[in-house]
Amino acid sequence: MNSISLEATTRMLVISGKGILAADESLPTIQKRFKALGIESTEETRRAYRELLFTTGGIEKFISGVILFEETLRQKTAGGSSFVEVLTRKGIIPGIKVDKGTIGMPNSLQEKITAGRDGLRERLQEYVRLGARFTKWRAVITIGAAIPSRACMYVNAHDLALFAALSQEAGLVPIVEPEILMDGDHDIARCEEVTSAMLELVFDAIRAHHVMLDGMLLKPNMVLSGKQSAKQASPSEVADRTIRTLRRTVPAAVPGILFLSGGQTPELATEHLNIMNARGPHPWELSFSYARALQDPALKAWAGSASNAREAQYLFYQRAKCNGNARFGTYSKQMEKMAA
């Protein structure tokens, strides 16, 4: 895939009114979410759940792409069609999470680096053969006493940049995800400080690795108060500080920014995105790449029972629709009552 094709795919992923579903939960993560609802995590229950999401009627109106886990990329529906085929027929672009999760950083085990560099070039070639058109790599930064360290931020920034370069080499659009975790009692000003510093390092590394800015996407956290902070910033302040941070650090050549939800409630993640888009225009498309904030209502309704599939799909569709409206800045809380 040449640079023109990379740019075209990137633009399709951030097309107006749509965003990306992150359905790339690792086996331990989805096991944890299933267990909380009394669902046994097996290859079949995971397959059935993903099929429920991907076959929901009409989601292509609000979903441009889906990030898959490696197991899911290889799976098929009960009728024998691969998930890649199902999504492609809807006009939804299939992608793949390529990192192998986080591990403790040497000499600073409370900080994390991301595994998965070994053999990445070869794995990317296989993912292309399986039908993936974009990739994602997540780095995790924790705010705490005396952390994050410069070393942790530097290593993660360069791993993200190397991943992006290798993805583009393979003809895949990279989604670069440097996540500043919500966990902690820090205030929103501290989150803004760390987010700004991390994004500056990320784009320094991206330039050093000659990554094409117009053939990549950024998946950052919003600038938020720590989850355990006594003072929670208002949605308006979250929007203001997030936009300010991005304008200071993200080149205008990057076509789109796809926010992660990071533990926010589905409604709050949508509200924050809506306010930011209502305050546009911006140099880039402001979109979403949510996992829990799109899936939670549907997962709870489904609860592992095929008899609940119709209700679960309705809730998933409504959640996608609310975020599709937030892309235009036209979402309202009244839409939540309509979905209830």
List 97, 136, 219, 321, catalytic entry: 219
Q: Which residue spans within 62-162 are E strands per DSSP? A: 63-68, 93-97, 102-105, 108-114, 134-141
97 as an active site residue: the answer is no
CB atoms within 10 A of CB 145: 6
Residue 302: the pLDDT is 98
First to last CA, the chain: 44
**Mean pLDDT, all residues of the chain:** 96
- Whether residue 2 has pLDDT greater than 80: no
Smallest CA-to-CA distance from 50 within 142, 59, 256 is with: 59
With CA atoms as reference, report the closest residue to 217 among 67, 90, 92: 67
What is the rounded distance in angstroms from the CA atom of residue 65 to the CA atom of residue 50? 14
Q: What is the mean pLDDT of residues 5-12?
A: 96
Burial status of residue 219 (CB atoms within 10 A of its CB: 0-12, 13-18, 19 or more): buried
3-339 is a CATH 3.20.20.70 domain: yes
**For range 218-243, the mean pLDDT:** 97
With a cut of 60, say whether residue 152 has pLDDT above it: yes
Backbone angles phi, psi at 62, to 5 degrees: -125, -15
Q: Is 219 a catalytic residue?
A: yes
Q: Look up the pTM and report it.
A: 0.96
Under 8 Å between Cβ of 316 and 66 = no
Residue 99: phi, psi to the nearest 5?
Answer: -80, 165
pLDDT, tens digit (0-9, with 9 covering 90-100), for 107-151: 887 899 999 999 999 999 999 999 999 999 999 999 999 999 999
Listed in sequence order, the DSSP H helices in 170-308 are: 188-208, 235-249, 266-278, 292-302
How far, in Å, CA of 103 to CA of 115, rounded? 7
Q: Which of 51, 70, 177, 192 is catalytic?
A: 177
Mean pLDDT of the 4-21 span:
95
Amino acid at 161: A
Q: What is the pLDDT of residues 235-291, one digit of tens each?
A: 999 999 999 999 999 999 999 999 999 999 999 999 999 999 999 999 999 999 999
Q: Where exactly are the structural domains of the chain?
A: 3-339
